[in-house]
Amino acid sequence: MDKETLLNDLREEISSDKSLPLSESNLVFGEGDPDTEVIFIGEAPGFYEDREGRPFVGRAGKLLDELLKEIEWKRDSVYITNIVKRRPPENRDPLPEEVAAYYPYLRKQIDIINPKLILPLGRFSMNVFLPDAKISRDQGKVFRKGNWIIVPLYHPAAALRSTAVLNDLRNAFSKLPVIKNKLPDLLRNRVEPSVVEHPSHQDKLI
Ligand code: URA
């Protein structure tokens, strides 16, 4: 089955899972090129995302679009999603149990896309992949975790509130094309997932 079909099936599976929290909000599954090497993962949809059913379409999304443009990456050539796939009330931070409830679906989504470069936006998303990382210390750094290179980034919403954060985020973005070009080297010995039963999830700071 092709990735598009698998992702559509996954979207249906999430829609029909009545045990998931935040059921009063709309499902914002994610969008982009299923064959991409690059996936951006935010926290949870906000007001505009809930209304449109698409990730990162509000103010933070406009900044993400601008930063993508600066590095000449087309938005539809990457994949963009969130850990939690429905909007928490009043845009509050997602609760640990909400992150945990949606995680198996995020993991399936990632496994279908099989990206090489995971770009968590903000600390909630970063800590899903790198539980001991600290956003101010580790944003922009390159980690290898099993089959993935992970570069944590500040959340664009935080960059809208602070010029210093925006400068750091812009600087981290400017390095992404070089990191992407180096993926074959950074992911030496990557084992294609179809033959990996239990990928090693050893954190390694490069
Ligand atoms: N913030 C997020 O984390 N995700 C979105 O989709 C929009 C804003």
202: exposed, middle or buried (Cβ count in 10 Å: 0-12, 13-18, 19+): exposed
Beta bridge partners of 129: none
In-domain check, residue 195: no
Q: d(Cα 171, Cα 161) in Å, to the nearest integer?
A: 17
In-domain check, residue 198: no
Q: What is the mean pLDDT of the chain?
A: 94
In-domain check, residue 191: no
199 vs 63, which has greater pLDDT? 63
In-domain check, residue 200: no
5 Cα to the center of ligand 1, angstroms: 25
In-domain check, residue 39: yes
Per the CB < 8 A criterion, the answer to whether 37 and 180 are in contact is yes
In-domain check, residue 153: yes
Mutate which of 40, 82, 106 to test ligand 1's pocket (most atoms within 8 Å of Cβ)? 82
- CATH code of the domain containing 162: 3.40.470.10
pLDDT of residue 194: 67
Three-state DSSP state, 188:
coil
In-domain check, residue 61: yes
pLDDT above 70 for 120? yes
Is the C-beta atom of 143 inside 6 A of ligand 1?
Answer: no
Domain span at 120: 3-184
72 Cα to the center of ligand 1, angstroms: 21
> Closest Cα partner for 147 from 110, 105, 121, 177?
110
43 Cα to the center of ligand 1, angstroms: 6
Number of domains present in the structure of the chain: 1
Per the CB < 8 A criterion, the answer to whether 183 and 117 are in contact is yes
